[in-house]
Structure 1
Amino acid sequence: MPAGRRAQHIAASVLFFNIILGIATAQDTSQGSLDSSESQKMPIELNDVVFVIQSQKQSFHANQAAKLKQDILQQAEVFSQYLPTVVLIHELSKHEGAWTIIPIIPYLASTYVKKSWIFFCEEQTRVKITKLLEVLRRYDKRKEWFLGKALHDEQSTIIHHYAFAEDPVVFKYPDFAAGWSMSLPLVNRLAKQLRNEKPSSDFTIDLKHEIALFISQRSKGPSLTPVREFCTEDVTSSEAANCATTFHTYLPFCGKLVEKENIFFAVKTCQKFHRERIPIVKKTWEKEVALIEYYSDHVDGSIPTLYLGIPNTERGHCGKTFAILKRFVSNAVPEVPWLMIVDDDTLISIPRLQRLLSCYDPSEAIFLGERYGYGLSTGGYSYITGGGGIVFSREAVQRLLHSGCSCYSNDAPDDMVLGMCFSGLGIPVTHSPLFHQARPMDYSKDYLKHQVPISFHKHWNIDPVEIYSTWLANEDGFKLHQKAQRTKKEREDL
C-alpha cells in the first residue's frame, strides 16, 4: 500500500475508533449520568450526603472510625459551609445487627428523608469528598442507584451458596473497602419492603454479596453500577490520583509485635486426621509458634496429642472447645494473654497475626476473627466462624467461663454457642476480614488483591503447602504473588 493511502487508511481508522469511543461513552453516560445542564439544575451539596462508616464497638476500631469521621468533617470545613452527616454504625445500639446494613435501612430512610445519597465505607477507607461529589453528580438522584467498585466470582463458591453456578462472573457485588452508595429513592423502596416483610435468610456469611443479592434480586432493584473512581489503591500510589476513595490498610500495626511466647495455639483434631492433616501443620506454620497443643480423641505421642475427656463428634465440637478454654486458664499451660483455637486444616500466617494483635489490649475482652451472623434481622447474634481461627484474650475467656454459659451438647456448633455467650455478656465480636473460612479460590481475586491475609481454611482439592507458601509464608512471597496478579490482569486488559 502506498504511503499516502496508508496514512489515509490510518486516519480513517482513528476517526472510526473515536466515533465508536464517543458512542460507547455516550451510552455509558445515558444509563443515568446527567449532562452538564441537567446537573446544574440538581446540584449535589455535601449536606445531601450521609456518610455511614461501617465501624465496630471494640476500642481500637471505634477510634479508627472516629478518626475517619474527623477527617471527613475537616475536609468539609475547608470548602463548604454545610457539614455532612457522618454516622458510625456501632453507635446505633438500638439496632441489633446494624453491621449487616439491612436492619437499619428503615431507620436511614425515616431519619434522612431530605438527603439524596447514603454513602457507606469501612474505617480504613479514605474519602476525597470533593471528588466523591463529582462522582455522585453524574447520577440522577431522583432515580434508584446502587454504586460501587464491582467484584465478581471467578467460579461458584460455597461461601456464596454456589449462586450463579452456570456463570458466576455475571453477578457483581461491591467491594466495601472502596465505599459504596445508594440513592435515597432506592433506600426508600427497600425500607418500604422491609416494613412489610423480613429478610428470609437466617445467616449472614459474606455481607457484600448478600447486600447485592437483596437489592438486585430479592427486591428487584438495580444491579450494581461500577464506579471507576471507587478504588482500593493505596492513597500514596500514583493510581490513586483520579480516585474518590482509596484504602489505607487491612493489616494495621500499632508499634510493637506481640511476642510469639504470648500466644497459645490450640489445634482441634481427631485420630482419623492425625496422618492426613497434622503433618501439614508441622510443615507450615507450626515452626513459627512458641506454644501449641493438639487436642484429639486419641493420645498419640508422636504428635503429641492430648485427650481432654470429650469424645469426638462428627460436627459441632462445642464440648472440646470449652474443655480447651478451661485448660487455657488452668495451671496446665503457661499464663499468656492470647489464645487462638484453630482446626487441623487451618493455615495461618503467624507474623501477620503478631502484627494485628499489636493493636489490641488483652486486658479488654477480645473475641476476634471472621464475623458471621445468625438471625440478626430478628434479634439474633454475631459469632466468629471457627474455620478461619478464633482469637481470645485471656480476659474474654475468664469472663466467659465465670458467666456459666456453656454447651447444650458436646456436638453443638462451638462457634455459634460462643457467639450466643459473648452476646449475652455484652462483649462484641471484633471482625477482621483477614481471617478466612474458605480457600483463596473461593474469594474474588480483586478482593484478595488488596488484602494481607492471616488465615485460610480447608484442604479440599488444593495443595495446602503450596497455598501456605503462596499466600501466607512470608511478606516477600505475598508481594510477588500480588505483582504477578497485577501483571496478569494488565495483560488481560490489553
Structure 2
Amino acid sequence: MPSHRLRAGCAATRSIFVLSLLPLSIVFGALNHRSSQIQDDHCGDAEGGTELQEVVFVIQSQRNSFHAQRAEERRAKLLRQAVELKVNPPTVLLLHSLNHNEGDWSIFPVLPLLFEAHGKTSSWFVFLEEETNVRVGQLRCTLSRFDAGKEWFLGKPLQDKEATIIHHYAFANDPSSFSYPDFAAAWVLSKPLIQRLASKVKEEPPKSDFTIDLKHEIALYIWEDGQGPSLTAVPDLCTDLETSLRARSCITTLSTHMPHCGDPVRKEDIFVAVKTCQKFHMERIPVVKKTWEKDAALLEYYSDYADPSIPTIDLGVPNTERGHCGKTFAILKRFARDVVTQADWLLIVDDDTLISLPRLRTLLRCYNPREPVALGERYGYGLGQGGYSYITGGGGMVFSRMAVSKLLASSCRCYSDNAPDDMVLGMCLNALGIPVTHSPLFHQARPSDYPKDLLVHQTPVSFHKHWNIDPVKVYYEWLAGNAGPTSHPSNWEWRAEL
C-alpha cells in the first residue's frame, strides 16, 4: 500500500478517535458544517456553474416588524455567503417592500415589475420564505444543470392525497397527479418563464377572485391546462431542519418548525372568544371542553342564547346562517371594555375550531402587542385588481389590543349582521393600512386536507371543521402538547417514510 494512503488512513483514525471523545451534537455539527463547505466549494467551482449575479432571490417577506426583521436577517445571510465564496453577490429583494401594494404577497402583481427591473441581467428568480436557509454554492451547481434559455419551474413537489375544498376539488379523479411547490423549500422560475408570465399577468390576470392556497394557484396558472410547464422536482430542495443529518445534502433547509422568541406569553395575556349558536351547544361545545378549553385562562362563549350550564353569553345579535359580522363586532367591542379583560391579545374562533393555546402563546411572543397586529391564515380577495387580504375565520383570528382599538375607532362597520366577518375585517384593515400577517401554522381545514409532506415541517396551531372526522382524536394527534412533533412522536411516524 502506498505510504501516502497509510498516512491518510492514520490521520483518519486519529480524527475518528478525537471525534469519539466529543459530544455527539458537536461531532454532527462539525460534520454538517464541513460537509456543506465541501459541497458549496465544489458546486461553486463547477464548470459552467451559474453566476450568483444572474440570480434574483425574492424573500416572501411581510410588513409586520417581526417578519420584516427576519427577512432582513435572511438577506444578510445570503449576501454573506457570496462574500465567503468570493463571488459577485446576487440581487436579494424583500417582497413586502417592492411595490408597497398589499396584494404583492400573491406574487402575480409583482411579476411584471420583477422582469422589467431584472430580466435583462438575471437568468433565475428564486423565491423563498424568511425561514428558508439556502446554500448558495450548491444552488449555483444545481441551476447549472438546467438550460436557462428554456422555461423552468423548479421546486419541491407537493401532491394532494384526496380532492380538497381548499383547492376547489381540483383534479378530483386523481388529485396526486398534479404537483405544486412547497414554498418553504424555495421555488425557482427561469427568465423565459417569468417573461411569459409577466406578459400573461398584464393581459390575462388570474381568473379566481379568491386567493386561498397560493402555492396551488401559482402552479395552476403556470401549468395553463397543460400548455405551460409542470413543476420539475429538485430533490436537493428540502424542508428538513438545518441541524438534521438528512439535511447534509440539501440546498435548502429550515431554521425552525415554529419561531421561538423567548418564553411564551402568559395564559392571561390571551382572551378567547368562541362563536357558537344554540343548535351547536350540545354538539360542538363538548368537543372544546374535552380538548383545548383547559388551556385558556380567559374564555367566553358567545351565542344567540344564554345557557348557564356552559355558560354562553347572548350578545343580542341574532344567529345567522351565513357570515357573523354583527356578532364579531360585538365581541370586539366587549374586548375593548377594560372591565371584561385587559389582555393584550384577542383570539376569535368558531365552535368547530381545534387550536393549541400553548403553541399560540409561544408564537405570540414574537409579536409586539403595542403594534396593530392581525394574525392568522391569510386569504385574499381581488388582489390582482387592488383588492384586500383577510384572515380566514375558521383557523382562528388573532388581534392585538391596538388593532382592535384602531378598528373600532374607524368608520368601518358591518353592512349587515350576516356579512362575512373575516372579509369585512379585511376591508377595514386594508383601509387603515394595517397589514394582515400570515402564519402557515393556522389552518382553515382539516389535517386530511393538506399534504403530509407539508404538515411534517410545521408545528400546527389550529385546524378547522369536524366534518367526517373524530375531532377529539384529531386534537390529541395533532395539537396536544407544547412543542408539536417531538412531544408526540407517535403522531409523526410517517416522518421516516418521507
Pair in the same fold by TM > 0.5: yes
Task: Pick from 335, 345, 357 the counterpart of residue 342 of structure 2.
Answer: 335
Task: Pick from 243, 246, 251 the counterpart of residue 250 of structure 2.
Answer: 243
2:375 and 2:397 in contact (8 A); partners too: yes
Question: What residue in structure 2 maps to residue 29 of structure 1?
Answer: none
Spell out, residue by residue over 1:245-285, the C-alpha distance to the aligned partner (whole angstroms, 9 max, x if none).
Answer: 00112311111210001100000000000000000000000
Per the TM alignment, residue 475 of structure 1 is displaced from its structure 2 partner at its CA by: 4.5
Structure 1 CA distance for aligned equivalents of residues 445 and 123 of structure 2: 38
Residues 1:406 and 2:413 are matched in the alignment: yes
Mapping 1:8-157, distance limit 5 Å: 40=47, 43-113=49-119, 114-157=121-164
Change (3 A) 1:262 1:475: closer
Task: Pick from 470, 476, 495 the counterpart of residue 486 of structure 1.
Answer: 495
Question: What residue in structure 2 maps to residue 415 of structure 1?
Answer: 422
1:271 and 1:296 in contact (8 A); partners too: yes
Q: Secondary structure at the match of 1:306?
A: strand
Task: Pick from 271, 274, 296 the counterpart of residue 267 of structure 1.
Answer: 274
Structure 2 CA distance for aligned equivalents of residues 294 and 213 of structure 1: 41
Spell out, residue by residue over 1:330-382, the C-alpha distance to the aligned partner (whole angstroms, 9 max, x if none).
Answer: 14412111100000000011110010001111000000000000000000000
Mapping 1:159-178, distance limit 5 Å: 159-178=166-185
Structure 1 CA distance for aligned equivalents of residues 255 and 350 of structure 2: 31
2:477 and 2:491 in contact (8 A); partners too: no
Query: Cα RMSD between the aligned structures?
Result: 1.4
Mapping 1:169-318, distance limit 5 Å: 169-218=176-225, 220-318=227-325
TM-score where L is the length of structure 2: 0.89
Q: Secondary structure at the match of 1:255?
A: coil
Q: Secondary structure at the match of 1:140?
A: coil
2:56 and 2:93 in contact (8 A); partners too: yes
Residues 1:376 and 2:376 are matched in the alignment: no
1:190 and 1:219 in contact (8 A); partners too: no
Task: Pick from 357, 360, 369 the counterpart of residue 350 of structure 1.
Answer: 357
For structure 1, which segment, 206-215 or 108-117, has the greater mean C-alpha deviation from structure 2 after superposition?
108-117
Q: Secondary structure at the match of 1:246?
A: strand
Change (3 A) 1:332 1:202: same
1:470 and 1:478 in contact (8 A); partners too: no
Structure 2 CA distance for aligned equivalents of residues 62 and 191 of structure 1: 26
Spell out, residue by residue over 1:194-240, the C-alpha distance to the aligned partner (whole angstroms, 9 max, x if none).
Answer: 22222211000000011100001258211000000000000011111
Q: Secondary structure at the match of 1:351?
A: helix
2:459 and 2:484 in contact (8 A); partners too: no
1:250 and 1:451 in contact (8 A); partners too: yes
Question: What residue in structure 2 maps to residue 18 of structure 1?
Answer: none
1:46 and 1:80 in contact (8 A); partners too: no
TM-score where L is the length of structure 1: 0.89
Structure 2 CA distance for aligned equivalents of residues 64 and 331 of structure 1: 33
Structure 2 CA distance for aligned equivalents of residues 139 and 469 of structure 1: 45
Question: What residue in structure 1 maps to residue 37 of structure 2?
Answer: none
Q: Residue type of the partner of 1:334?
A: T
1:250 and 1:434 in contact (8 A); partners too: no
Structure 1 CA distance for aligned equivalents of residues 239 and 377 of structure 2: 20
Structure 2 CA distance for aligned equivalents of residues 219 and 104 of structure 1: 24
1:338 and 1:391 in contact (8 A); partners too: yes
Structure 2 CA distance for aligned equivalents of residues 419 and 409 of structure 1: 15
Structure 2 CA distance for aligned equivalents of residues 345 and 289 of structure 1: 16
Any gaps of 5 or more consecutive residues in structure 1? 1-35
Q: Residue type of the partner of 1:73?
A: L
Per the TM alignment, residue 477 of structure 1 is displaced from its structure 2 partner at its CA by: 7.0
Residues 1:442 and 2:449 are matched in the alignment: yes
Structure 2 CA distance for aligned equivalents of residues 56 and 401 of structure 1: 24
Question: What residue in structure 2 maps to residue 20 of structure 1?
Answer: none
Per the TM alignment, residue 81 of structure 1 is displaced from its structure 2 partner at its CA by: 3.7
Per the TM alignment, residue 468 of structure 1 is displaced from its structure 2 partner at its CA by: 0.3
For structure 1, which segment, 382-391 or 86-95, has the greater mean C-alpha deviation from structure 2 after superposition?
86-95
Spell out, residue by residue over 1:119-148, the C-alpha distance to the aligned partner (whole angstroms, 9 max, x if none).
Answer: 000000001000111110110000000000
Spell out, residue by residue over 1:457-480, the C-alpha distance to the aligned partner (whole angstroms, 9 max, x if none).
Answer: 000000000000000011577431
1:54 and 1:99 in contact (8 A); partners too: yes
Q: Residue type of the partner of 2:407?
A: L
1:469 and 1:477 in contact (8 A); partners too: no
Task: Pick from 463, 470, 489 the counterpart of residue 456 of structure 1.
Answer: 463
Question: What residue in structure 2 maps to residue 17 of structure 1?
Answer: none
1:284 and 1:468 in contact (8 A); partners too: yes
Q: Residue type of the partner of 1:75?
A: Q
Question: What residue in structure 1 maps to residue 472 of structure 2?
Answer: 465
Q: Secondary structure at the match of 1:190?
A: helix
Q: Residue type of the partner of 1:187?
A: I
Q: Secondary structure at the match of 2:249?
A: coil
Per the TM alignment, residue 96 of structure 1 is displaced from its structure 2 partner at its CA by: 3.8
Structure 2 CA distance for aligned equivalents of residues 238 and 192 of structure 1: 43
2:460 and 2:484 in contact (8 A); partners too: no
Structure 2 CA distance for aligned equivalents of residues 219 and 77 of structure 1: 41
Per the TM alignment, residue 455 of structure 1 is displaced from its structure 2 partner at its CA by: 0.3
Q: Secondary structure at the match of 1:97?
A: helix
The number of equivalent residue pairs is 451
Q: Secondary structure at the match of 2:206?
A: coil
Structure 1 CA distance for aligned equivalents of residues 492 and 406 of structure 2: 44
Structure 2 CA distance for aligned equivalents of residues 418 and 456 of structure 1: 21
Change (3 A) 1:332 1:220: farther
2:49 and 2:140 in contact (8 A); partners too: no
Spell out, residue by residue over 1:171-196, the C-alpha distance to the aligned partner (whole angstroms, 9 max, x if none).
Answer: 00000000000000000011121222
2:441 and 2:461 in contact (8 A); partners too: yes
Structure 1 CA distance for aligned equivalents of residues 483 and 87 of structure 2: 47
